[in-house]
Amino acid sequence: MRPSRVLLGAFALAAVADLAFLAVGSDTGHVVAKPLLMPLLAGYAYVRGAPRLLLAALLFGWGGDVLLLSDAEPAFLAGMASFASGHVCYLVLFKRYGSGNAAARARAALLALAYVTALVTTVALLWPDLPADLRVPVAGYSALLTAMAYGAVTRFGLLAGLGGALFMLSDTLIATGVAEWPQLPRPDFWIMLTYAAAQLLLVRGTPVAVQAPPAPKALLAN
């Protein structure tokens, strides 16, 4: 069996296990399973020849995952900074490898309007209920996340774009919890479901040509 399939299967197994632990309320299981997700997904991306920027984004996501296992505010801010670094990596990845023609200009403008509207509406609604010292960091992070999601769909296409949109949804669910809004039953289950799917779709949505390892020099010389 190919290493890529083994690693993808291991990622899927760890994700299902993590969701199962969350569904039954096992914090210990979640603490064990969650930190496995991004390293396994990064390993899958690596054996497929993914660019370093994609691997860096996933590893920054891993850092955020580990930090957010703590409920302390400093850990939350550090986790948000780690995820923000991952989003910067994604943005550079989209700019460096994405196609400027992935979305027609008119459609890109409509998408930009939709994403900006979603950003402004979400931040405006959350703002009064967020702790005062978290308002500006959350707003700044949300802007960066929205830019990443927009870049995913306009530069890499629908699959990556869906991943970016799910990332926005996952982090919005976290923000509503910080704002102490009413939550769905087992909110961490829905956060992790959308997050794991988002990262997988961003990896799978990266064009194959980007992920393919460069041809050996001997072949290029022929």
**pLDDT tier for residue 209 given thresholds of 50, 70 and 90:** low
Specify the pLDDT at position 104.
66
Mean pLDDT confidence for 116-129: 98
Beta strands in 52-140 (DSSP E): none
207: confidence class by pLDDT, cuts 50, 70, 90: confident
Give pLDDT tens digits for 24-72.
Answer: 999 999 999 999 999 999 999 999 999 999 999 999 999 999 999 998 9
pLDDT tens-digit profile of 67-88? 999 989 999 999 999 999 999 9
pLDDT over 80 at 212, yes or no: no
- Long-range contact pairs involving 130-134 (C-beta distance under 8 Å, separation at least 24): 130/175, 130/178, 130/179, 131/73, 131/178, 133/73, 134/73, 134/76, 134/77, 134/178
pLDDT category, 119, cuts 50, 70, 90? Answer: very high
- How does pLDDT run across 16-33, given as a tens digit for each residue? 999 999 999 999 999 999
